[in-house]
Structure formats: structure tokens, C-alpha cells
Homo-oligomer: A and B are copies of this chain.
Amino acid sequence: DILERPEGLELGGDLREVTIMMSDIRGFTTLSEHLEPAQVVRMLNRYLGAMTDIIMAHQGTIDEFLGDAILAVFGAPLQRDDDADRAVRCAQAMQAAMAGINAENRAEGLPEVQTGIALNTGCVIAGNIGSERRSKYGFVGHPMNVTSRIEDHCAGGEILVADSTLQKLSGHYAVGDRRSLKVKGIHQPVVVHRLLEANS
């Protein structure tokens, strides 16, 4: 996508408002200890394959897979008016896809898995980060860290949306369960809401 649309790039580093998504499978590491390595990789790749397709269909940029965690942003390299809305719809589609993934897992005698998804919006530095020998389009800034902390509070099947993201939404979504989270390194509590449609 980056190469297809070079007009959207500032590889030297620029400030972008993005909606950040972090997801991971609840308890995956513990689960993985009871399975053969090949089963773990097959289960993980089925999940990551389905999630990648959904994120790309919603024009998200996948920054990283880290084990079972996915880090993606909406709004870089290209900013669009509906970045936050696409991120929310993407998270909903990801949760909706879990039933099919778990049906395939069950059919192979593998355990069911549940994912938690955190969404947060803020300004980050986007740029081509790394070295001559290895670099990638990546992101730096407190909103990245905050998203990771919100993700720590997600239960399986849950989507937690930060206030910062809610304020950017044009669409209407049912939210509930306002929670105030203390985040290391951030003085003010981070306010998040549980998205109600998610996998309920």
C-alpha cells in the first residue's frame, strides 16, 4: 500500500493523527504450552491470516505482529476522514470472524481462542524507522504506549475504545461500561468504553 501510493509518504518523520489498534489472544502463551509447536503455529497463522485480510479490507496499516499480538494503525501513511470509524468497524469485523476461526479450530481438535481489541487515537511520529540494513514504516509516541496499556485491560471478545477515538467517530455505536484506567507514565487517567456490539 505504501509503495502503491508514494504521494502519502513522509519517510523522514512527520506528525500524524492516527487511530491505533492493538489486539491479542487472551491467554495464548499459556495455551501454547499445552500444544505441539506445529499446532501453535498453524492456529496462530489461521488467526493472523484472517485478521490481516480484515485489517487490509478496512485500509488499516499493519505495523507489527508480535507473537499473537497485532499492532495496526488507521490514518498513516494516508489520512482519511473516516480513519476512526474504519478502525471501529474493523475491530467489529475481527470479533465477528472469531466464530469461524474457532469452528475451524474445533474441527482440528484445537482449543477455541478469544481476542481482545483496544482502540486509541492520538498524534504520533510516523516515519521510516530503523537502519540501512533493516527499516520499516513505524510509529513513535505516547498514544502507542497508551494503546498497549488499554489492551492489557481487554477481556476476551471485548473491544475497548478510548475517549480519544469516540470523539472522532461519525457513525453511531452503542457503548457502555465507562472505565477509567491508570496508565504508567501518563498523569491523567485514560477513559475507555466497552463497545457493546462486539461479539455479544
Instruction: Please give the residue numbers on chain A whose beta carbons come within 8 Å of chain B beta carbons, in ascending order.
Output: 12-15, 28-30, 32-33, 37-42, 44-45, 48-49, 51-53, 56, 62, 64-68, 71, 125, 127-136, 138-142, 144-145, 185
Q: How far is the CA of A144 from the CA of B127 in the complex (A)?
A: 26
- Residue pairs across A and B with Cβ atoms less than 8 A apart, 27 shown, are A12-B42, A13-B37, A13-B42, A29-B140, A30-B142, A32-B125, A32-B140, A32-B141, A37-B125, A40-B140, A41-B129, A44-B140, A45-B128, A45-B131, A49-B130, A49-B133, A51-B131, A52-B131, A52-B133, A52-B134, A53-B133, A64-B64, A65-B129, A65-B134, A65-B138, A67-B139, A67-B144
| A66 cross-chain contacts in B, Cβ below 8 A | 64, 66, 71, 138
- B29 and A141 contacting across the interface, CB-CB below 8 Å: yes
Copies, count = 2
On whether A12 and B38 interact (CB within 8 A), knowing A129-B44, A130-B65, A133-B52, the answer reads: yes
- Determine the distance from Cα of A189 to Cα of B71 in the docked complex, in whole angstroms: 29
Is B125's CB under 8 angstroms from A40's CB? yes
For the complex of A and B, 5 pairs with smallest distance between CB atoms: A13-B41, A49-B131, A13-B37, A41-B127, A52-B131
Query: A113 to chain B: closest CB distance in Å?
Result: 13
- Is the contact region of chain A dominated by helix, strand, or loop, or is it mixed? mixed
